[in-house]
Amino acid sequence: MQYTLADLLPSVAASFGVQTPGPLPLPPNRDVVVLLIDGLGAELLTRHHEIAPTLAAHISTTLTAGFPATTASSITSLALGAPCSAHGIVGYSFAVPDEGGVRLFNSLRWRFDSATGDDARDPYPPETAQPRTSRVQDLAAHGVEVHYVIPEYQSRSGLTRASFRAPGILHPATTLAEVRAGILAVAGHPDTRSRFAYAYFPDLDSTGHLHGPESTEALAVLREIDAFVADLLTDLPGTCTLLITGDHGMIHADNVIDIDAREALHRGVRLVAGEARVRHIYLEDPAASADALDTWRAELSVHACVASREQALDEHWFGRTPPNPVITHRIGDLLAVAEGRTVLVRPDSEPLESAMVGHHGARTPDEQLVPLISSH
């Protein structure tokens, strides 16, 4: 059976006795810490197990991130225990209703128009955009004490509010040393009350974006993470289970297509969202989707799989939970999913993203498969 990232927290909840049974067989323990290493792909770890022997030795299974394989979607799937079709964070960016019709919304940064656009937390409240109860809320309601070992800014971010939805004790952490200290602070307590912590480390992802996922720089970060885990396991008490996973893997782009330079791709198009590996295309007239579909397929040929929203939903790309109308209309009228190592960039409107070497989001094993690493 292929487990998904969305199976992890329901299984943690089951290990605490909140619900039974859990999809993954996790043994009960007093405390559980889930550490998300942004960009930790299972295929990367398999190819470079000699660089990360501790991580490789403790792999218990492999999970599928879910579509799209991007941080905002994956973190929400993890926290909610549900796929994109249920929680509605359907990509790095997507369209939301606006006075003028629709407006681009960046769900990772929780901003309008671009990653550096207007703050959307007040006009588009996270708790309204994603109203479902998280599994972390379930744990808190069951009496489990919640902790976060994350960069301080994330505790106030729109994405954290939308996905985890539960207050907790913050242990600010940006470096591996701070993550280690935070995890040990969570696990080192004398009382019998259970604790759950979500911890996060971003550097593997950011380095992979800049230099490529298997660059010297990225592999050096992977080596540092492995040494950190080896050290942490020596001091972690037996009363705490440490679970490590990733939100996605990554590919090195070697076929760059500037979709803004292709005039035909913008005829009848109102908005293009998503990221370089998965594009949401919103049309001026959705009734013209058949013609637009033919145009995008002809232009991108073997470089991308282009499908209608209806096909994507019929084939359960975003998960098997039927989406409600609000979520349905966040998905593009068309979707263009890059194949191989192709990226569909927009240098004028997305200069930072378009300059990246490493990318993720699509459906290759390098992007989709993430390890589940367990201390027990």
Residues 189-246: tens digit of each pLDDT: 999 999 999 999 999 999 999 999 999 999 999 999 999 999 999 999 999 999 999 9
The per-residue pLDDT for 172 is: 98
CATH number of 255-359, picked from 3.20.20.70, 3.30.1360.180, 3.90.180.10, 3.10.20.30 = 3.30.1360.180
Q: In terms of CATH, what superfamily is 3-89+130-251+364-374?
A: Alkaline Phosphatase, subunit A (3.40.720.10)
3-state percent helix, strand, coil for the chain, nearest multiple of 5: 40, 25, 40
Whether residue 59 is predicted with pLDDT greater than 80 in this model: the reply is yes
Whether residue 359 is predicted with pLDDT greater than 90 in this model: the reply is yes
Q: What angle do CA 39, 42, 45 make, to 5 degrees?
A: 90
The predicted-structure confidence for 326-353, as pLDDT tens digits, reads as follows: 999 999 999 999 999 999 999 999 999 9
Question: Measuring CA to CA, how many Å separate 92 from each of 89, 108, 143, 358, 366?
Answer: 8, 6, 33, 15, 18
Whether residue 100 is predicted with pLDDT greater than 90 in this model: the reply is no
* Residues in Cβ contact with 65 at an 8 Å cutoff, skipping those fewer than 6 apart: 4, 5, 74, 77, 246, 247, 248, 249, 367, 368, 369, 370
The predicted-structure confidence for 7-39, as pLDDT tens digits, reads as follows: 999 999 999 999 778 899 999 999 999 999 999
The per-residue pLDDT for 19 is: 79
Q: How do beta strands 304-308 and 334-338 pair?
A: antiparallel
Mean pLDDT score of the chain = 97
The predicted-structure confidence for 300-328, as pLDDT tens digits, reads as follows: 999 999 999 999 999 999 999 999 999 99
Domain boundaries, given as residue ranges, for the chain: 3-89+130-251+364-374, 255-359
Enter the DSSP assignment of 215.
S
The per-residue pLDDT for 222 is: 98
Enter the DSSP assignment of 183.
H
Q: Which is nearest to 62 in space by CA: 376, 318, 373, 317?
A: 373
The predicted-structure confidence for 135-160, as pLDDT tens digits, reads as follows: 999 999 999 999 999 999 999 999 99
Fold agreement between 3-89+130-251+364-374 and 255-359:
no
Whether residue 368 is predicted with pLDDT greater than 80 in this model: the reply is yes
Whether residue 105 is predicted with pLDDT greater than 80 in this model: the reply is yes
